[in-house]
């Protein structure tokens, strides 16, 4: 491999806080909040970036007993960055700690007992001078269906 000192610019890791087991009732609705944070000095595009070619923050639930109803993403910040031209419009981003709330319906037919609900949080981060490839972070919750 080419011995070039590129390692100083490492892709930032978004961390997702562990989610305690959630008790749900068949036929009812529940809201699950996923708390996550980006290291200081980095930002990620919000769920609704200002340009079509930017990669949005998304949470996709992939498997589990619950039926996803809606997702409320964190309110974006409109910020300008040093790499932008003065004529560029501000970017719609998230920084630091943030929460994503998912409203689920619990099907009446859901099997009783504990079950895993799994999802993927996708983000693409930048700092003031560079951007890093999009990453997928697994999100796992345990639900106890009663």
Residue closer to other proteins by CB (options 31, 83) is 83
- Interstrand relation of 135-145 and 22-24 (parallel, antiparallel or unpaired): parallel
Token pair in block for residue 100: 């994503």
Is position 82 an interface residue for other proteins (rule: CB under 8 A)?
A: yes
- Residues 109-146 as b/e (b if ≥16 CB within 10 A, e otherwise) read ebeeeebebebebbbbbbbeeebbebeebebebebebe
Alpha-carbon distances, residue 95 vs 25, 88, 98, 112 (angstroms): 34, 20, 7, 38
Q: 44, 64, 66: which is closest to 54 by C-alpha?
A: 44
Does 137 sit near other proteins (CB under 8 A)? Answer: no
Residue ranges in 62-81 that form contacts with other proteins under rule CB under 8 A: 81
46 binds other proteins (CB under 8 A): no
For position 55 contacting other proteins by CB under 8 A, the verdict is: yes
Q: How many residues lie near other proteins (CB under 8 A)? A: 31
Nearer to other proteins, 106 or 126 (CB): 126
Which residue lies nearer to other proteins by CB, 75 or 133? Answer: 133
Residue 15 near other proteins by CB under 8 A: no
Query: Per CB under 8 A, does 41 bind other proteins?
Result: no
Q: From the CB of 59, what's the least distance to other proteins, in Å?
A: 18
Tell whether residue 126 is a contact of other proteins (CB under 8 A): yes
Sequence length of the chain is 146
20/86 with CB nearer other proteins: 86
Our separate counts of H helices and E strands in the chain read: 0, 12
Listed residue (121, 96, 7, 89) closest to 43, CA to CA: 96
| Residues found near other proteins in the complex (CB under 8 A) | 1-11, 53-55, 81-86, 91, 124, 126-134
């Amino acid at each position: 491999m080419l011995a070039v000192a590129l390692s100083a610019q490492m892709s930032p890791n978004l961390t997702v806080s562990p989610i305690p087991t959630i008790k749900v009732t068949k036929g009812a609705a529940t809201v699950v909040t996923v708390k996550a944070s980006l290291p200081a000095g980095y930002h990620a595009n919000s769920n609704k970036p200002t340009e079509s070619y930017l990669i949005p923050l998304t949470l996709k639930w992939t498997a589990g007993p619950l039926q996803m109803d809606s997702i409320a993403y964190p309110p974006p910040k409109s910020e300008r960055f040093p790499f932008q031209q003065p004529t560029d419009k501000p970017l719609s981003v998230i920084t630091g700690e943030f929460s994503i709330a998912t409203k689920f319906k619990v099907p009446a037919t859901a099997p009783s007992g504990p079950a895993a609900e799994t999802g993927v949080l996708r983000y693409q981060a930048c700092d003031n001078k560079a951007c890093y490839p999009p990453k997928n972070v697994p999100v796992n919750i345990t639900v106890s269906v009663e």
